Structure 1
Amino acid sequence: MAFNSHRDFFEVLEKEGELARVKKEVDWDGEAGAIGRKTYENQGPAILFEKIKDYPEGYRISNGTTGTWSRVALSMEMAKKASVREIYQEYEKRVDIKIPPKILKKSDAPCKENIMLGDEVDLHQFPMPLIHEGDGGRYVGTWDVVINKDPETNWQNWGMYRFMAHTKNWLTGWPQTTSQFAFIMNKSYLPYNKPMPVAIVLGADPLSHIIATAGIKPYENEAENVGGLRGQAVELVQCETSDLMVPAHAEIVIEGEVMPDQIAPDGPFGEYPGYRSGTMCAGVAVKVTAVTYRSKPIVTMIALGTPPDDSSIAASLTAAVAMKKGLMRHGVPVTDVYVPPEGVTHLIVIGVTKGGTETTRKVLDYFTLRRIMTNKHIVVDADVDVFNMAEVLHCFATRCHPGRGILYEWYEGRSNSLTPFYNPEERKKLKGCSVAFDSTWPPEWEKEIVPIKSSFKTIFGKEIIDKVNNNWDTYGIKL
């Protein structure tokens, strides 16, 4: 049975020993974020802060709902101990299944239990955390689902973007210029000086949040992908002040309009690459028109920083599967693609059946032809397990020729401005550089001169491998 809500998933997390309920009063100003960050860095459980300073009993903050592979597995109703490879394979199998959403009446939607409209709106009634010291303000949108719509096609796009409380009824956000959110805004609203309706959803079911991080193709309805991933339709309901459709079981839904003629300061913020994102900058200004929420609401927080955390884990899964399909369409003979969470989508490992400069050039071309969130790509032979970073590092160190095996390309207008090593001018122009490391044996080499890897799987014959595997339990060695 798929999880309909954030709260449903907590029951399973608690049963599996993956949830800590913090009953001691915790300050929203820095303390909750610091606890969340320390917990991530020690691979600890998801957290539900049950008593927040300055807020009534029942107003809560959660952190780390899917911040480990075990919790991602549980969100997909897989075994807690499923391997990363198994999770990737299951996600790849399900994500292209389309199950249309089920539309609920407003009276049946839990997210409509309480409604603020117009002048009643006060974002400060919710325990929005100041997550990191040095953040520009209190961020209500970190682990969210942000929904906007293309008016010409009725395509409703789901994404994940940061939003900071500016006043009690204004938000400021920073969706990257290469995002689908910005694509719709710049195509259909700003040129006509029209406000753009937006909904910022907190505390939906876990798979809705994961899909919000995914690179689903433009004009595809992510709500249908969520249905396929869950194995049943996600339940949606219409907003109060727009025709946007939002997850009906969400904890909090903030409705608003991105104003075409106004900006507001946003940031800095401790962003997903693991660094504070520079200085305060001009963000989009959102006038909040309504807030609907469940009784005893939960603000979903992600104390972003050095990986792993929810962001790097989710991006590892969703980006890798999309990249694998794209590379195959581009003619690359892919076996597997792995996005190590520690590389925060800046490092990609691509396994291929046939390597060499030509294949590596195709890999680099694929990534540089698109909006670029990645910049380092390691191409390895099929005998290397892309999910085993020890094998990948050994392969990179011993097969990548420093004179012939490194290909790179510059581009402008498409790079990821949150990449820490770009200088201010490069970030302003979205100028970037991508590199591919050919860590494969040259295909023109005769088989006899290709070095034999000295590992259990490769340097011994089948007879002795089978003998050792069959007799392993008798040796008394526990692995």
Structure 2
Amino acid sequence: MSYNSPKDNREFIERLKASGDLVTVNQEVDWDLEMGAIVRRVCEGQLSAPYFKKITDYPEFEAFGAPMATYRRLAIAMGLDAATPIPEIANTYVQRTKEKPIDPVIIEASEAPCKANILTGDDANLLHLPGPMVHDGDGGRYLATWHFVVSKDPDTQAINWGMYRMMVFDEKTMVGPVLPFSDMGKMFYGKYVPRNEPMPFAAVLSADPISSLAACAPSPIPEDQLAGMLRGEPVELVKCETCDLYVPAHSEIIIEGEVIPNVMIEEAPFGEYTGYRTSPREKRTVYRVKTITYRNDPIMMVSNMGVPTDEGQLLRSFSLGLEMHKLLESQGIPITGVYMLPESTHHLVVVGVKPAYTGIASQIANLIFGSKLSPWFHMVVVVDEKTDIYSKDEVIHALSTKCHPVRGIHKYDNQVGTPLNPYASPAERRMSQGAKVLFDCLFPLDWPASDLPLKVAFSTNYPQHIQEKVLSNWENYGYGQ
């Protein structure tokens, strides 16, 4: 059963145009900072996605910025109405990912739009692609800002799609960090580097929106199957030109090559999803390019990481939170919801729960801090089932009034972190070391009912018939709906 998600970015662009979520920019824009500045301002203002028709020095290309930096655009990508509320989007994701995995289908190269143009040898030149200078002060041009890298375990043949930043070094070389705890890092450092073997890769630039969403999700389901589940139909893949990897056939641009073991080149700095530039210029992993394929009239996707909210924060928050939801639910925890605030740069997660027993907040924290998701966040706020986890006002109120400053705050030292955490010391960043904290916003179960503070609000302090009377007369009072 198809969920009517856009098959490619061209269809996605048309739907955004129809919903009023796209601005077509006909004026020529420069790849050197101007395009990045426009996309950054769009993200910070939560504005419509910019579709750039003319790029300086690159007449063959167009560009599409901030593709999924709002929940409206995420809803459209999932085949839903743009105005779908966040809880409904989340519930839709959870329900779809509970269905049977959907294997991809392989199509012939002659049928794959991404094979319309094939560049090899000297023609496979990264500088022929409009990689933007995203932020002033970046270490170089970052060609891959909204993309994913396809890699394969040489022993198990397991496939990984993951987003790993890549800076252009020269015509044939990209460089970027591959963290050892990431899925691709485990393959590369655990299998290829000890054997001194290059690892084939395919960088997928501007895939369809659902494949990009699947690549962001820390799901145990293989990403090509997960994309099918989210679409409700198989994703069409096509074999690469130079290796035994398969990529979404309706992508705009594919870069094929090898990740080179035991060779490092300096990369960074780069403005990151945390809203800071925390990565020093250091030697990092090297990608050597063999072949570039692309569609006719290719469209380059441009994301711009920085202060909230952009798609890196929104989609990672969305998928991380829902994977936590499934983890806690699988352990029988009576949760009522999980929401990771994008505005926190996916560092803060709010868990709603029915406080059925003492210590449930600590159990929740221990479960998710001990999961593979834990490097990407460090704050957990546990609230009761009466708190709307999607309302920042209610979460702040609960945190400020129900969390005891001593008994309610639990610190966890010497935990796994990432080199991008702004709060971490330089030594902690180098070691990917972090710290965690739990804010327990549940009133203790042993308090007598007569001693429980009573919340004062329209929904709790007035009889139902009074609430209904007031609501039914709201416009008569002179207020809008």
Q: TM-score range by the shorter chain?
A: over 0.9
- Alpha-carbon shift at residue 471 of structure 1 (Å): 4.2
Q: Is the 8 A contact 1:236 1:247 kept in 2?
A: yes
Q: Is the 8 A contact 1:267 1:277 kept in 2?
A: no
Q: Is the 8 A contact 1:356 1:438 kept in 2?
A: no
For residue 143 of structure 2, give the secondary structure of its aligned residue in structure 1: strand
Alpha-carbon distance between aligned partners in 2 of 1:96 and 1:7, rounded to the nearest angstrom: 29
AA aligned to 1:304 is M
Matches within 5 A, 1:200-279: 200-217=203-220, 220-279=221-280
Q: Is the 8 A contact 2:354 2:384 kept in 1?
A: yes
- Most deviating of 454-463 and 468-477: 468-477
**2:15 matched to 1:12?**
yes
Which residue of 2 is the match for residue 280 of structure 1? Answer: 281
- Alpha-carbon shift at residue 415 of structure 1 (Å): 1.2
Q: Is the 8 A contact 1:357 1:438 kept in 2?
A: no
Alpha-carbon distance between aligned partners in 2 of 1:126 and 1:357, rounded to the nearest angstrom: 58
RMSD: 1.5
Matches within 5 A, 1:313-462: 313-354=314-355, 358-370=359-371, 371-412=374-415, 414-462=416-464
Deviations 1:278-298 (A, max 9, x none): 321221101111111012212
Alpha-carbon distance between aligned partners in 2 of 1:472 and 1:91, rounded to the nearest angstrom: 35
* Residue of structure 1 aligned with 2:26, choices 23, 26, 29: 23
- Alpha-carbon shift at residue 356 of structure 1 (Å): 7.3
- Alpha-carbon shift at residue 400 of structure 1 (Å): 0.4
Alpha-carbon distance between aligned partners in 2 of 1:149 and 1:26, rounded to the nearest angstrom: 37
| Inter-CA distance 428–7: structure 2 relative to 1 (3 Å threshold) | same
Which residue of 1 is the match for residue 36 of structure 2? Answer: 33
Deviations 1:319-348 (A, max 9, x none): 110011112334532110111110111111
Matches within 5 A, 1:82-121: 82-97=84-99, 98-121=101-124
What is the TM-score with the length of structure 1 in the denominator?
A: 0.96
| Inter-CA distance 2–368: structure 2 relative to 1 (3 Å threshold) | closer
Matches within 5 A, 1:41-80: 41-56=44-59, 58-80=60-82
AA aligned to 2:289 is V
Deviations 1:210-266 (A, max 9, x none): 11111112xx32111111111111110010011111000110001111101211111
Which residue of 2 is the match for residue 464 of structure 1? Answer: 466
- Most deviating of 355-364 and 303-312: 355-364
For residue 174 of structure 2, give the secondary structure of its aligned residue in structure 1: strand
Alpha-carbon distance between aligned partners in 1 of 2:118 and 2:256, rounded to the nearest angstrom: 11
* Residue of structure 2 aligned with 1:124, choices 124, 127, 146: 127
- Most deviating of 385-394 and 14-23: 14-23
Alpha-carbon distance between aligned partners in 2 of 1:244 and 1:43, rounded to the nearest angstrom: 36
AA aligned to 2:424 is Y
Q: Is the 8 A contact 1:337 1:351 kept in 2?
A: yes
| Inter-CA distance 409–355: structure 2 relative to 1 (3 Å threshold) | farther
AA aligned to 2:90 is Y
| Identical amino acids, percent of aligned pairs | 39
Alpha-carbon distance between aligned partners in 2 of 1:471 and 1:45, rounded to the nearest angstrom: 36
- Alpha-carbon shift at residue 475 of structure 1 (Å): 3.7
Q: Is the 8 A contact 1:452 1:459 kept in 2?
A: no
Alpha-carbon distance between aligned partners in 2 of 1:210 and 1:121, rounded to the nearest angstrom: 28
For residue 201 of structure 2, give the secondary structure of its aligned residue in structure 1: strand
- Alpha-carbon shift at residue 470 of structure 1 (Å): 4.1
| Inter-CA distance 281–96: structure 2 relative to 1 (3 Å threshold) | farther
Q: Is the 8 A contact 1:368 1:411 kept in 2?
A: no
For residue 82 of structure 1, give the secondary structure of its aligned residue in structure 2: coil
AA aligned to 1:294 is R
- Alpha-carbon shift at residue 119 of structure 1 (Å): 3.1
Q: Is the 8 A contact 1:195 1:258 kept in 2?
A: yes
For residue 460 of structure 2, give the secondary structure of its aligned residue in structure 1: helix
- Most deviating of 344-353 and 180-189: 180-189
AA aligned to 1:76 is M
Q: Is the 8 A contact 2:5 2:76 kept in 1?
A: no
- Alpha-carbon shift at residue 2 of structure 1 (Å): 2.7
- Alpha-carbon shift at residue 152 of structure 1 (Å): 1.6
- Alpha-carbon shift at residue 206 of structure 1 (Å): 0.7
For residue 426 of structure 1, give the secondary structure of its aligned residue in structure 2: helix
Alpha-carbon distance between aligned partners in 2 of 1:464 and 1:135, rounded to the nearest angstrom: 59
AA aligned to 1:431 is Q
| Inter-CA distance 398–62: structure 2 relative to 1 (3 Å threshold) | same
Which residue of 1 is the match for residue 185 of structure 2? Answer: 182
What is the TM-score with the length of structure 2 in the denominator?
A: 0.96
AA aligned to 1:270 is G
For residue 276 of structure 2, give the secondary structure of its aligned residue in structure 1: coil
For residue 477 of structure 1, give the secondary structure of its aligned residue in structure 2: coil
| Inter-CA distance 19–467: structure 2 relative to 1 (3 Å threshold) | same
* Residue of structure 2 aligned with 1:146, choices 142, 145, 149: 149
Consecutive unaligned residues of structure 2, counting only runs of 5 or more, are none
AA aligned to 2:23 is A
For residue 16 of structure 2, give the secondary structure of its aligned residue in structure 1: helix
Matches within 5 A, 1:149-164: 149-164=152-167
AA aligned to 1:99 is I
For residue 75 of structure 2, give the secondary structure of its aligned residue in structure 1: helix
Which residue of 1 is the match for residue 303 of structure 2? Answer: 302
Alpha-carbon distance between aligned partners in 2 of 1:425 and 1:357, rounded to the nearest angstrom: 37
